[in-house]
Amino acid sequence: MTGIREIAIEAGVSPATVSRVIRNPELVSKERRQRVQAVIDRTGYTPNSLGVSLRKAKTNRLVAIIPDAISAFNYPVIRAMESIALENGYSLLLGDTQEMETRERSFAAMVSSRQADGILLFCPRLPFDVEPSIPLANQLPPMVNACELVPVNGLPQVNIDNRAAARDGVEYLLSLGHTRIGVIAGNLKSPSTKDRLAGYKDALRQAGLAIDEQCIDVGDYGLEKSEQATRRLMKQPQPPTAIFAFSDEMAMACIATLCKSGYRVPDDISVLGFDNISYANYCNPSLTTIAQPMSDIGRVCMELLLPQLRGEPMVAQNIVLDHTLIIRESTGPVKT
Amino acid sequence: MTGIREIAIEAGVSPATVSRVIRNPELVSKERRQRVQAVIDRTGYTPNSLGVSLRKAKTNRLVAIIPDAISAFNYPVIRAMESIALENGYSLLLGDTQEMETRERSFAAMVSSRQADGILLFCPRLPFDVEPSIPLANQLPPMVNACELVPVNGLPQVNIDNRAAARDGVEYLLSLGHTRIGVIAGNLKSPSTKDRLAGYKDALRQAGLAIDEQCIDVGDYGLEKSEQATRRLMKQPQPPTAIFAFSDEMAMACIATLCKSGYRVPDDISVLGFDNISYANYCNPSLTTIAQPMSDIGRVCMELLLPQLRGEPMVAQNIVLDHTLIIRESTGPVKT
DNA sequence: GTGAAAGCGCTAACAA
DNA sequence: TTGTTAGCGCTTTCAC
């Protein structure tokens, strides 16, 4: 493994000059620059980034801490982040925590142990112990929180208004004449689920309808659990005429389950999803859903992170992006 | 950011002793060990891994080079890899190349630049320039190749027999009485697609059927392209009675398109997928498909990589794992 | 069992 | 413009 010293000797210059040719070529005379460059090209030399990072105390790496696997929902978010990261000289490490707090913390510790410069946090809790008496901004590394928000002040956060989004979705179902609307919720501990649930109840209350807890079931953002939830919802004496699943994936599983049981969607029962993942337009029937602006979320996160990486202080702010109701084939008027 | 020197001073020992307490506690007397440990605990000191890696010339990081995004297919593969990596003290960096060779090479260069110790390669070409006269094993870093195989000898490779798998799938369709079988192929440049195409032709030939190139279209492993391919296939004067999509995602898009056009699946037309992604059982109708053993692929890759990381030489081998035909609802007897 | 010292590969301050 | 030097934080001989 050839190092900068070998290149320097080979080219008959000092290591410093080689370093300059790589980092600041304009500081080196043309003659020497070409000589050094020739050796670099010939040997295929690449600087050992460990040395660079150690010296510069900077890794140019970010870590995304993701609770629940890389899903059809968060992949576009991550992809947008990664592309902006790349443009700015950063690479993005994906840390899948599989919902384990130890893993959240272990990925976050990459910053303390100088394996990464900043954090994109998709989990609803801080992966650090903080001193409540000190402002958050002074204790945390460069960091942005997205989608599942930490209930704390001081962090830059990016999200949609899940409550309003769910309300909009339910109001749409109400406008189709549905009054008995089932819910397949996500993980009840997740802030996004809580907000969507609140929005669901808002809309029903506003319409003067009672909230029947029997109509609320949990799918935990999983396919099988959504299937089970669907079966339970339909087994009620008075089954819902519409089901609102808190993710498109759960909506797909819900529809599949309904069809297996002989229901027709949307003729017999309507299904509303959430997220607008790429499959939403390619399942059968295609999904009516509440779209999240996935790439915008990713982009905005990076826009909040980059200044911090440049050394600017963390600024408490909560960016709320717009959602959109996308009407496709899985919803229709209530069956009369 | 406190370093080993501060800890040493605080505990009244040398940096070397602090290092030993962390790496080889048994070399340090109990008394000093406890004293040092107390300081570490109190300060929350974490060794700067840059220093460690630089010194040890080892990063404990692997990079997975993935051509086509993190899909429902390769996510389980990656997850299996990651979990084994973790057990062995490695973390896994995901490098999404978006099919760009420059990105493949840039991720691979992380090994040369000592940002990673080994490579899990999902792309069908080497991300390094090699000297044909020298054995591959002597020129490459620790590396395993999976799914899309580099057409070269000397590399440890893991895959299924795509040709046989496709043949099995087509034979099943033939057994249902289908004789006009459309194909929605993946990326024609990808070895997996080529192999599956060969298997498709094998099966037809063996059944004494002519191969009609009109029946072969390309979906490029994408949803929209699969939709377009489906439309083209069905627009033929004599449309197929069954369609074999080379991924489940394309099969889903195919089914959605067929249903929109008024066909019933499988009554009017059968659809066969490939991969057995988690959605396969949760779309409507559920997918008959050829299952790849995703987590086994990931596990076996790591089993081939770990010895190399320990310093053992790269061994040329091609591990072929079993595929399985999974019959669900999207296929049925030909309409008479 | 412990510490001093060297050095992993690199860059930046300084001197020439 | 270039080279010398010091040192980023750590581990590991080597000598005690």
pLDDT tens digit sequence for B143-158: 999 999 999 999 999 9
Q: What is the pLDDT of residues A203-212, one digit of tens each?
A: 999 999 999 9
Percentage, residues of chain B above pLDDT 70: 99
User: What does the DSSP assignment read for A212-244?
Assistant: -GGGEEE-TT-HHHHHHHHHHHHTSSS--SEEE
Which CATH fold would you assign to the domain B162-292?
Rossmann fold (3.40.50)
Is nucleic acid strand C under 7 Å from A51's C-beta? Answer: yes
List, edge to edge, every strand of the sheet that includes A216-218. A216-218, A181-185, A242-245, A270-275, A288-291, A324-326
B128–chain A Cβ distance below 8 A for any pair: no
Distance B140 CA to C4 C1' (A): 39
How many angstroms away from the CA of A263 is the closest CA of chain B?
12
pLDDT at A17 over 80: yes
Q: Is the CB of A55 under 7 A from strand D?
A: yes
CA distances from B320 to A155, B149, B160, B170 (A): 49, 12, 5, 20
Mean pLDDT within A296-313: 96
A287 to chain B: nearest residue by CA? B256
- Give the pLDDT confidence of B33-89 residue by residue, as tens digits: 999 999 999 998 889 988 999 999 888 889 999 987 668 898 899 989 988 998 898
pLDDT score at A220:
93
Find the Å distance, CA of residue A119 to C1' of nucleotide D4: 39
Mean pLDDT of chain A: 93
- pLDDT tens profile B250-289: 999 999 999 999 999 999 999 999 999 999 999 999 999 9
Q: Is A93 on the interface with B (CB under 8 A)?
A: yes
Name the DSSP class of A281.
G
D strand bases under 7 Å from protein CB: 1-5, 7-13
**pLDDT category of residue B1 using cuts at 50, 70 and 90:** low
> How would you classify the pairing of strands A288-291 and B181-185?
unpaired
Residue A69 confidence (pLDDT): 66
CATH topology of domain B52-160+295-322: Rossmann fold (3.40.50)
Q: A231-250: b or e for each residue (b if 16 or more CB lie within 10 Å)?
A: eebbeeeebbbbbbbbbbbb
B15 touches strand D (CB under 7 A): yes
Residue A70 has pLDDT above 80, yes or no: no
Question: For strand C, is any atom closer than 7 Å to the CB of B28?
Answer: yes
Mean pLDDT of A285-303: 97
**Domain chopping of chain B, boundaries:** 4-43, 52-160+295-322, 162-292
pLDDT tens for each residue of A228-268: 999 999 999 999 999 999 999 999 999 999 999 999 999 99
User: In this complex, is the C-beta atom of A263 within 8 Å of any C-beta atom belonging to chain B?
Assistant: no
At which residue do the structure tokens 């369709």 appear? B173
Fill in the amino acid letter for A234. M
Among A4, A7, A42, A49, most B C-beta atoms within 10 A, so best to mutate, is A49
Q: What is the pTM of this model?
A: 0.90
Question: Is residue A104 pLDDT above 70, yes or no?
Answer: yes
More confident: B44 or A302: A302
Q: Which of A313-322, B134-143, B226-235 has the weakest average pLDDT? A: B134-143
Residue nearest to nucleotide C11 (CA to C1'): A55
For A75, the closest chain B residue by CA position comes to: B70
Q: Which of A281, A226, A288 is nearest to A257 (CA)?
A: A226
Query: Is-same-fold flag (A52-160+295-322; A162-292)?
Result: yes
